[in-house]
Amino acid sequence: MEPTLAVIGLNFRTSPVAIRERFWMNPARRFEALHHMVRSEGVEEAIVLATCNRTEFILWASDVPTAANSVLRFLTQEYQLKLCEWSHFYRLMDDVALTHIFRVTSGLDSMVLGGPEIIDYVKEAWTQAQEAGTTGRFLDAVMEKALSVCQEVRTQTTIGSPAVSVAYASVELSKKVLGELAGREVLVIGAGKMSELAASHLMKAGAGQVKVMNRTVGRGEELAHKLGATAVSFADRMQHLKTADILVSSTTCPHCLLTRKEAESVARERQHKPMVMIDIAVPRDIEPAVREVEGVYLFDMDDVEQAVKRNPADRQAAAEAAEKIVQHEVQGFRGKLVAERALPTAVAFRQRLDELCRQELEVLREEFGPFTEDQDRALTTLTAHITQRITSALARELKQLPESNDQDAFTAAVARLLQLGQPSRANVGTRELSRS
């Protein structure tokens, strides 16, 4: 079996937030996962992409079923994956996997169509894998092309303008409960990119005082200064919750920051005056039971998804144009990727031809020699030219074959014809190539 591209993961289309948050990985856990996967059976190279909407293993796999089983075992051991939950995961390969990666990077598979946040997540995932040493020739080429396609989509379509984000959708949810936001007090917990976007959108919508709260005081103060907001202490969160009309929470904390009991206390102090809580964190920051508290309107990522599910007609038209770009680029890139995949066979083919030519030259020298130095050099040059022409013809034929199955069959036939070694040897060559 020839190595191929594969994506194994789950996202907001295949699983609710309650499932996604269980398999979300912070940077440290992603680093561990990368090292585990690249040492696993069936895996040559690996990238782990984890956002609030998806967790995906992007793999260059020597054997996709074996690689999928390696992912299954890892998630079972480390995240207590149950067999019945495996249905939330998808397994994509070859062109389907390549199309998926291009679509994700271009914002076509985002909860908010065209949302720009995914680009930073993709870059971060790729950079982390490079630092971990788990990518090589193949995945580096795929990710570089994916970012190039994204740039083309952003340049040639209007899918990213105006910038509609999850944060913007959060503002709309607040308006549905509170009406106009002029003068409303906002408390933002978390100092990351999503918190910044949420605070910015709320301020543009007319919100009055905006407070920024973060466990790391310096980062909270930095964001507050950037926005012209007020930095407040996390230790005083209950006090600030009692005066806030809108709470937006987006942290990477692995456990809940606000329980139902705490929310009930806040609601009583507010005399159950309406309060919007928007939890755009995965794992969730606010206990789901808080939505049962009188006067509190809790929205999580599933609610945000429903709010942004329908896209305006102009954005749909932009999406269709973007899809055409993606499909065109997939068709153009797949030949290069498969040619790269067949490179170990081409190298072995060239080496085998060189070996056969050397053997025949030795026979020629024994039967008709000795030759002069010029004659011997001419014979050596002639055989090298013949080898080069045959190898170039092989490479052209591989690139021109339209289907990867045809290329695989052709490569296998060449290997049998010239007895290019055992499959295990080819696999070793692929791993060495992917690390170059």
Tens digits of residue pLDDT in 366-394: 888 888 888 888 888 888 888 878 877 77
CA 159, 162, 167, 171: dihedral to nearest 10 degrees?
A: -130
Catalytic entry in 52, 84, 150, 256: 52
The separation between the first and the last C-alpha atoms of the chain, rounded to the nearest angstrom, is 22
Taking each continuous run of H as one helix and of E as one strand, the counts in the chain are 17, 10
Lowest mean pLDDT, pick from 124-138, 188-202, 210-224, 410-424: 410-424
pLDDT averaged over every residue in the chain: 85
pLDDT of residue 406: 64
- The pair of structure tokens assigned to 135 is 């990518």
Of residues 146, 91, 160, 147, the one with CA closest to residue 330: 146
What share of the chain has pLDDT > 70, as a percent?
85
188 secondary structure, DSSP code: E
Per-residue pLDDT for 431 more than 60? no
190: left (phi over 0), alpha (psi -120 to 50) or beta: left
Mean pLDDT of 74-89: 93
247: closest CA among 199, 284, 288? 199
With bands split at pLDDT 50, 70 and 90, how would you rate the model's confidence at 142? very high
Active site residue 256: no
Check residue 265 and give its pLDDT. Answer: 95
Q: Residue 168 to residues 32, 112, 255, 308, 369: CA-CA distances in angstroms? A: 34, 10, 25, 9, 83
Report the relative pairing of strands 43-50 and 90-93 from DSSP bridges.
unpaired
* pLDDT band at 1; cut points 50, 70, 90: low
Segments in 5-87 forming alpha helices (H): 17-20, 27-38, 64-79
Calculate mean pLDDT across residues 248-265.
92
Its pTM stands at 0.70
